[in-house]
Amino acid sequence: MGSTFVQNYKDVGLISLHFDEKIGNYVSFEGYATRKLDDGSQFSSRLPFSDQSYDQNERKFCGVVSYGDNRAKHGVKSQKWEFIFDTQFVSVLSGKMVLRRVYGKEKTVPFGKDICYTNANIKNVVDIHDTVKRLE
């Protein structure tokens, strides 16, 4: 895909999603460089997706990010992401993130209402003049 998606119109690096064919797909926490994990160790600025899959017909991406062996942030050891892009890859239409806690409990956070992701490079994705004409 070669795109970056920002959460709730925040800057890149504040839990932004990166899809890069050269270095791989990851979640960026670069804006949170001073944060620490529960054990006091340094928080990684990028967490790569593992166990990834992408269904082209549904535009559905699935992947897992982990804080590492025996590591956690606020008791969360990994996050399972699942979301569906719109047809032009402007935004994430729906989906969820399942937070897996150290002690086995899970919490599901839905996407699309309170948490929204939008393509950071929207100028090169959408022809704004065409969109305005279509909406008139």
Q: Residues 61-82: pLDDT tens digits?
A: 999 999 877 677 888 899 999 9
What are residue 122's phi and psi, to 5 degrees? -60, -30
Q: Quick one: residue 45, left, alpha or beta (phi over 0 = left, psi -120 to 50 = alpha)? A: alpha
Q: What is the pTM of this model?
A: 0.81
Mean pLDDT of the chain: 83
- Alpha-carbon distance of 85 to 87, in angstroms, equals 7
**pLDDT at residue 41 above 60?**
yes
Give the range of the structural domain holding residue 25, as residue numbers without chain letter: 3-135
pLDDT confidence bin for 106, thresholds 50/70/90: very high
Asked whether residue 112 carries a pLDDT value surpassing 60, the answer given is yes
Supply the pLDDT for residue 99: 92
Please give the structure tokens belonging to residue 66: 């982990």
Task: Give residue 35's pLDDT.
Answer: 80
Beta bridge partner(s), residue 36: 42
- The beta-strand segments (E) located in the chain are 3-7, 16-20, 24-28, 46-48, 50-55, 60-66, 76-85, 92-101, 106-111, 117-119
Overall number of domains in the chain: 1
